[in-house]
Structure 1
Amino acid sequence: MTGASSGIGAATAQALAAAGATVAIAARRADRLAVLADKLRAGGTTVLAVELDVTDEEADRAAVRRVVQELGGLDILVNNAGLMLLGKIVGADTTDWTRMINTNVLGLMFLTHAALPHLLERKGHLIQMSSVAGRTARMGSGAYNASKWAVNAFSESLRQEVTERGVRVTLIEPGAVDTELRDHITDPAAKKVAVERAANMRTLTSEDIANAVVYAVSQPDHVAINEILVRPTDQQL
């Protein structure tokens, strides 16, 4: 589970633990990981916490090796680490684009590649955290849209490649969720729009998305839930 230090990642780790899973949690913020790990262990869950920047390909490979060595294998990978740096294309700070592509696309691809031999060996399950932004483009989120469309295309191509070998690939596509993603938007105008938009609807919670993950991975082996699109009832696009 990447991006496990807060939001959807932390909620999903807790939901999987509650369902009986042994959990490996990874993120850059080691202090937050430690707090989550202690909480999970207090509930009786076996936990491995790994400090990880998913944009570092060799670190991704090392993290997978450590999980397999210390926990005995890898059955489910949840690629959840991501950034949502909204803003218009004209006049954009393109360093935001680089950060998003490195994290949302390349980080996800690197970790997927590192995990695939183990998922193939155990006929495992790959969860790719995408977004409604991977299906619907909106003014003011072009680069973010591009990153999530890339996730969707990569994941569907991979699904076709591995499904007959028993590996299931699921895209989770949340709409507006009440997480700290909006807090990291660097463009003041874009941040204002995102905050106001969320304030005018009943947003999803991280637990709502965690429930979708648990639903997907708890299906029998012959059932593949390939996409789950979850929007707030109040959200139109």
Structure 2
Amino acid sequence: MTEKPLSERNALITGASSGIGRATAHALARDGAKVALSARREGKLHDIAETLESRYGTETLVHPTDVRDEDAVASMVEETVSAFGGLDILVNNAGLARGKRVDDLSTEEFRTMQETNVDGVFFATRTALSHLRESSGNLIFVGSFAGQYPRPFNPVYAATKWWVRGFAHSLEGQVGEDDVAVTVVNPSEVRTEFGSVYGESFEERFAEGEVTEPEEVAEAIAFAATMENSTISELDVYRRDKFSGF
């Protein structure tokens, strides 16, 4: 029997209850990893964990976490390490968007985006780094096209993703000598429930096949996670006609 590419690897995914996070959990479990699932919706996490265990025969851990809570994030990482015996892969996926004009955006909405997309990424990364150094692991950030190109319709969200990308690549220079790989995966539109809290979701807006599916982004993340001696620094994932007409 051929050994799976992520056998004996331990992964933690934030924002794992739907969309890219859920698809990534399937991709990593399929490839042999033990998978810790983190998000705020505990019921959905348990459903996903049961499916992963029955379908792939993998070990899972459910840890409901709001990534804005510094102590909860630290507990999430440490419980994963304790349960699995180490951490090899962290996927920083949790995030949210609020597509409003700046002058219509409340301070609460602004802070919620910052605390989720920036603070949450920092908290998880900071706690996980010592464990990833021990395992020569892979640190993967889910960025966005919004972190590469101007986004007039959601400038604050775009700014958080520019921060994620800048933080990731700067950290890459810091921890590369410690044998930690850092990857940023940048999707464009993905057909998920993203944005549903504030209105029409991408899943509702786009028909199947019209934009990128979460499974396609998950495959890019899984590919980056298999790197043992090299770093896949950045991967952009978008539909093939994305730039037609430019």
> Which of 34, 45, 70 is equivalent to 1:33?
45
Q: Distance in 1 between matches of 2:131 and 2:90?
A: 10
Displacement after TM superposition at 1:222 (Å): 2.6
- How far does the alpha carbon of each residue in 1:120-150 deviate from its partner, in whole angstroms, 9 at most, with x for none? 1111100001100000112111001110001
Contact map agreement 1:8 1:207 (CA 8 A) in 2: yes
Q: Structure 2, unaligned stretches of length 5 or more?
A: 1-12
Q: Residue 237 of structure 2 is aligned with which of 214, 226, 230? A: 230
2:174 is aligned, of 152, 161, 176, to 161
Gaps of 5+ in 1: none
Partners of 1:89 and 1:140 within 8 A in 2 = no
Q: Which amino acid aligns with 1:224?
A: T
Residue of structure 2 equivalent to 1:207 = 215
Superposition CA RMSD, Å: 1.9
Identity, in percent, stands at 41
Q: Distance in 1 between matches of 2:166 and 2:22?
A: 26
Which residue does the alignment assign to 2:3?
none
Residue 112 (1) aligns with residue 118 (2): no
Counterpart position of 1:49: 62
* Partner secondary structure for residue 14 of structure 2: coil
Maintained 8 Å contact 2:35/2:61 = yes
8 Å contact kept, 1:176–1:204: yes
- What whole-Å deviation, never above 9, does each CA across 1:40-96 have from its counterpart, x for those lacking one? 111211001111111111111111111111110000000100002111112223322
The 8 Å contact of residues 16 and 39 in structure 2, kept in 1 or not, is answered as yes
In 2 relative to 1, CA 118–196 (structure 1 residues): closer, same or farther, beyond 3 Å? closer
Q: Is the 8 A contact 2:192 2:203 kept in 1?
A: no
Give 1:168 deviation, angstroms.
Answer: 0.4
- Once residues 94 and 217 of structure 2 are traced to their aligned partners in structure 1, the CA distance between those partners, rounded to angstroms, is 14
Aligned residues: 231
Structure 1 pair 58/15, CA: closer, same or farther in 2 (3 Å)?
A: same
Identify the residue that residue 78 of structure 1 maps to in structure 2.
91
Whole-angstrom distance in 2 between the partners of 1:209 and 1:8: 7
Offset at 1:213? 0.6
Matched, 1:151 2:159: no
Q: Quick one: distance in 2 between partners of 1:57 and 1:131?
A: 24
| Equivalent position SS for 1:83 | coil
- C-alpha change, 1:235 and 1:94, in structure 2 (3 Å) is farther
Distance 1:22 1:196, change over 3 A: closer
**What TM-score do you get using the length of structure 2 for normalisation?**
0.89
Cα 1:180–1:117 change in 2 (3 A) is same
Q: TM-score, normalised by structure 1?
A: 0.92
- In 2 relative to 1, CA 198–88 (structure 1 residues): closer, same or farther, beyond 3 Å? farther
* 1:179 match: 192
